[in-house]
Chain A
């Protein structure tokens, strides 16, 4: 006989052997706190969104604006800022919409897909913040170097650097940047590893053989 048929026969016989919870026990349970991964994903995502937004504001304090004014970059930065905020709002909206779509009443594949989609939105947002700030830093930095080299200001030319100094300067800058990005990457791997390992595995298993 087929293994599963054999099992099914016994399975049905087991029906009377399960624990029986009372009405009151079940009633108490519905008020307990959930520990589902969706709750964790929501908390972590909101934290990430808040922290990255907070950091972009922090990096662009008063000093930043004074510097920019000095280098005549204020206008273009203001435009970039507005665009930046619009993009942030867009991501938060998209995150919220995806999050709302997560429903335990969907089929297993759809549920997993929606959870992964919500996570992806936040991942893209972080990538966007990193790339945006990285690019801005590079542009501002290059402009400053350019400005420095062309400056006629005596107090500035006093600090003129030779080629070797420039290489050192840029080299250190790159190392610090790489370490910073490496740390963020590591943090992400850990976070994903812990939270979504099971989900990824099961999702792959479901999609296997699917056209």
Chain B
């Protein structure tokens, strides 16, 4: 593949890398796995890049490939030593304006999301990224009705995790 394509791809990904980082945050529990998944997503994006026609935005196209990698293609590496869970370290940075109670609730919520299955995580992620139900259904390959029903169930699940 030619240099121009490489340059174009890396520039685009550098600009939109947050999308990949966010997916890694949701799907992995430690920094080493985060880096692994980030790398695999980058490889898959690059491999699929020649198929990127430019008829959609680069970021929109990224969601699909990156989520597919996290859900289906990525194979977790076996690790001997468990590195520290970054939920508690730097999964999210505390915001100054929150009071203790809000802060605690948010921590609980983030932890609850971590307990969801791969598909539910994808639904939550797309929702948090402001995707509408049509986009969610297209990314996951399910009907819009199904996407709505699943999202409602995720909400119930989260509520149940928070208030057992």
- How many angstroms from the CA of A208 to the CA of B120 in the assembled complex? 12
The interface residues of chain A lying within 8 Å CB-to-CB of B67 are: 108
Answer yes or no: B58 CB below 8 A from chain A CBs.
Answer: no
**Residue contact B72 to A111, C-beta cutoff 8 Å:** yes
Main secondary structure of the interface of B (DSSP, over half): helix
**Residue contact A32 to B39, C-beta cutoff 8 Å:** yes
**Residue contact B106 to A10, C-beta cutoff 8 Å:** yes
The interface residues of chain B lying within 8 Å CB-to-CB of A108 are: 67-68, 71-72, 122, 139-141
**Residue contact A202 to B46, C-beta cutoff 8 Å:** no
From the candidates B44, B90, B110, B124, name the one contacting A4 in the complex (CB within 8 A): B124
The interface residues of chain B lying within 8 Å CB-to-CB of A32 are: 39, 43
The interface residues of chain B lying within 8 Å CB-to-CB of A15 are: 18
Per the 8 Å Cβ criterion, residues 144-164 of B in contact with A are 146, 149-150, 154-155, 158-159, 162
**Residue contact A211 to B128, C-beta cutoff 8 Å:** no
Per the 8 Å Cβ criterion, residues 104-150 of A in contact with B are 104-112, 115
Answer yes or no: A152 CB below 8 A from chain B CBs.
Answer: no
A-B CB pair tally, cutoff 8 Å: 158
Answer yes or no: B11 CB below 8 A from chain A CBs.
Answer: yes
From the candidates A6, A115, A211, name the one contacting B109 in the complex (CB within 8 A): A6
**Residue contact A37 to B113, C-beta cutoff 8 Å:** no
From the candidates B46, B65, B119, name the one contacting A105 in the complex (CB within 8 A): B65
**Residue contact B44 to A210, C-beta cutoff 8 Å:** no
- How many angstroms from the CA of A27 to the CA of B12 in the assembled complex? 11
**Residue contact A198 to B162, C-beta cutoff 8 Å:** no
Answer yes or no: A166 CB below 8 A from chain B CBs.
Answer: no
Q: Pick out which of these stretches binds chain B: A17-25, A45-53, A70-78.
A: A17-25
Answer yes or no: B21 CB below 8 A from chain A CBs.
Answer: yes
CB distance from A208 to the nearest CB of B (A): 8
The interface residues of chain A lying within 8 Å CB-to-CB of B110 are: 7
CB distance from B116 to the nearest CB of A (A): 10
Answer yes or no: B84 CB below 8 A from chain A CBs.
Answer: no
Answer yes or no: B101 CB below 8 A from chain A CBs.
Answer: no
**Residue contact A17 to B90, C-beta cutoff 8 Å:** yes
The interface residues of chain B lying within 8 Å CB-to-CB of A43 are: none
CB distance from B139 to the nearest CB of A (A): 6
- How many angstroms from the CA of A198 to the CA of B65 in the assembled complex? 18
CB distance from A43 to the nearest CB of B (A): 13
- How many angstroms from the CA of A108 to the CA of B146 in the assembled complex? 14
**Residue contact B17 to A40, C-beta cutoff 8 Å:** no
- How many angstroms from the CA of A108 to the CA of B113 in the assembled complex? 20
CB distance from A4 to the nearest CB of B (A): 6
CB distance from A136 to the nearest CB of B (A): 38
**Residue contact A210 to B48, C-beta cutoff 8 Å:** no
**Residue contact A110 to B141, C-beta cutoff 8 Å:** yes
- A34 to B, closest residue via Cβ: B43
**Residue contact B95 to A13, C-beta cutoff 8 Å:** yes
Answer yes or no: A8 CB below 8 A from chain B CBs.
Answer: yes
Interface 1/0s, chain A 188-211, versus B by CB < 8 A?
Answer: 000000000011011001101111
Given contact pairs A30-B9, A34-B43, A35-B75, enumerate 9 new A-B contacts (beta carbons under 8 Å).
A8-B127, A104-B44, A104-B45, A104-B68, A107-B138, A107-B140, A202-B117, A202-B118, A206-B141
Q: Which 10 A-B pairs have the closest CB atoms?
A: A109-B141, A107-B141, A36-B73, A18-B21, A30-B46, A205-B119, A29-B42, A11-B128, A34-B43, A17-B93
